[in-house]
Structure 1
Amino acid sequence: MRRRSLLTAALTAPLAAGAVGALASPAQAATWSSSDKWGEWRDGAYTVHNHVWGSGTGPQSIWANSYSNWGVWADHPNTGGVKSYPHARYMLGRDVWSMGNVSSNHNVTVPSGSGLAYCTTYDVWGNGHDYEIMIWTQWHGSVGPIGSYVTDVNLGYRDWAYYQGSNGSNAVHSFLARNHTTDSWVDITAHCQWLVSQGRMPQVSIDEIAFGFEITSSAGGHNFNCNSYGVWT
């Protein structure tokens, strides 16, 4: 899965000495862990993926006890460009108009402070990787969506700022929560069907639903933890 950013992309570095020891305590006894930038682990219908895909990256390690309880320790330099998107993904494979009531909930613990730049986001894909729907529930630092602001919309009883654009490879539709939260419920169906009803996206198959942290900067090493997460269909 490819990711793009409006921010300027800044070589993947090997795992720094002592990096694993810097992981949050859940990693010490985790069911699975990896420092491979493409490391992934299957848990039932879900796949947990480290996904260090950007340029100018630092070390990143991922751990998981389940698809619902996982996290990363990331030490990416404070330069522009998304470095990674560690996530848990679920494959749906349903037409947008017959996808049913698909929703998701999550609870995360994220770092704060100067120099950090990241967002907590869903990444939903239509027709393979032709159409990308990003749903930002929380973010920090110098990050922003692809494209231009179009309008505000209420979906799933929440207010979102909607942006539309392209990364050069696929259309990108972004919804940014007007109220940030680290404990969230999101109506996936509402977002997808609104785009089609407004003529902004064709009647596609909603295939992949991913949730995780899109990390741009985290110098010094920081923990991003997913305490709970699930997709309901």
Structure 2
Amino acid sequence: MSTLQRAFRSTRKAVLSAVVALGVAVGGLIALTAAPAAHADTQICDQYGSTTIQGRYVVQNNRWGTTATQCINVTSSGFQITQADGTATNGGPKSYPSVFYGCHYTNCSPGTNLPAQLSAISSAPTSVSFNYVGNAVYDAAYDIWLDPTPRKDGVNKTEIMVWYHQTSPVQPVGSRVGTANVGGRSWDVWTGNNGSNDVISFVAPSAIGSWNFDVKAFANETINRGMAQSSWYLTSVQAGFEPWQNGAGLAVTSFSSSVNIGGGSTTGGTTTGGTTSGGTTGGSGSPSCKVTVTPQTWAGGYTANVTVANTGSSAVNGWKLGFTLPSGQSITSAWNATVSPSSGSVTASSLSYNAQIPAGGTQSFGFQGTYSGTYAQPAGFTLNGTSCS
């Protein structure tokens, strides 16, 4: 096979648009309407079949580039490709089976607060874990869609692709334009246009199996490169695979996404300060601090975005934020900080790229967790051993 470009990715969008138009013509029966909430092990072989998991995400088969059969097995936490017939023949991939949060061709995930204006988003924590196979030609990509308008259908203006893994000879659309450090990782950066929308791709030098990050970091880098504006809207985030040959066995084993708007979120509230001791000492500076926690909750789970404000007159170099989780809560993942242990008295430690909090400045990190009973806020915040006020 010759070197495969992704220039025909727009074919998928055109086909989907045609399906929507046909549905309207025959009486408003839209083929992309979300199915009822899925139970584990739901099989989907329909070309554009979709269903929901966890009451908040949509899983879609999305076989747009081939007439050959593709089937996915939807679980409570993701999906696996179980059948992937045919070979891509038009230069683009066969499909993009994926799980998403937000709105995709009028199919919106339950309870989503997308589209949301980038300038209003304080953070958009997300995580995904992939399972790879060795007998296929594919890429594993996390898609971030941006548009100047809050559209819920059709092609967006700019597509950000975060490539966790790819096999030869697959490569992004366009050409390599340099490197970037985003989210504490180094990436090869490619830019181009697939004939329908602009594309910026961040390609990992080696395969990433699982990673948590803030979508806002990639949006900001895209803005810095002139391919988006802060007034634009985030419409959806998606994680899945683009197979060219085979693909059976590829799986998204876990996925999470939430979007925090300004100082608030779709659920929950904020907490400030703290009085009890609950951390470890470290770093330098004499901190005075204010801590704001912005949670987003669902049944049995939540994410929390934490902003640490240095209200003192000198910089804090190297920070450790101590706090106490309520009984029944446990942290499962974190971003922009190292957080341990997973329950009880917890310490979040800065990373190399966010270790300084300037006087009057802030740093943010976040974590995802589980809870039993009723969700409650963490308490007892200390910055480098000194209680926040």
Checking the alignment, whether the CA contact within 8 Å between 1:86 and 1:212 is kept in structure 2 is yes
Structure 2: distance between partners of 1:42 and 1:183? 22
Residue 211 of structure 1: which of 196, 217, 239 is its match?
239
- Using the size of structure 2 for normalisation, the TM-score is 0.49
Q: Which amino acid aligns with 1:69?
A: G
Q: Which amino acid aligns with 1:157?
A: G
Give the superposed CA RMSD. 2.2
Q: Are residue 49 (structure 1) and residue 60 (structure 2) matched?
A: yes
Deviation at 1:59?
Answer: 1.5
Gaps of 5+ in 1: 10-28
Structure 2: distance between partners of 1:7 and 1:118? 15
Deviation at 1:181?
Answer: 1.3
Query: Helix, strand or coil: the match of 1:153?
Result: strand
Matches within 5 A, 1:58-137: 58-66=68-76, 68-73=77-82, 74-77=84-87, 79=89, 80-91=91-102, 92-113=114-135, 116-127=136-147, 128=151, 129-137=156-164
Structure 2: distance between partners of 1:103 and 1:162? 22
More displaced, 153-162 or 90-99? 90-99
Equivalent residue, structure 1, for 2:250:
224
Structure 1: distance between partners of 2:239 and 2:48? 16
Per-residue CA deviation, residues 56-79 of structure 1 (Å, 9 max, x unaligned), is x4221112122x331112223265
Query: Helix, strand or coil: the match of 2:115?
Result: strand
Structure 1: distance between partners of 2:78 and 2:186? 27
Per-residue CA deviation, residues 33-76 of structure 1 (Å, 9 max, x unaligned), is 11111110023221100000014x4221112122x331112223
Structure 2: distance between partners of 1:196 and 1:78? 33
Structure 2: distance between partners of 1:198 and 1:6? 21
Structure 1: distance between partners of 2:127 and 2:115? 19
Residue 35 of structure 1: which of 45, 58, 72 is its match?
45
Per-residue CA deviation, residues 180-225 of structure 1 (Å, 9 max, x unaligned), is 211222331100011113323223101110110111111xx62111
- Percent of aligned positions with the same letter in both sequences? 29
Structure 2: distance between partners of 1:186 and 1:96? 16
When the two structures are aligned, how many residues end up with a matched partner?
Answer: 205
Per-residue CA deviation, residues 95-123 of structure 1 (Å, 9 max, x unaligned), is 1222221122122211103xx21111111
Query: Helix, strand or coil: the match of 1:223?
Result: coil
Q: Which amino acid aligns with 1:61?
A: C
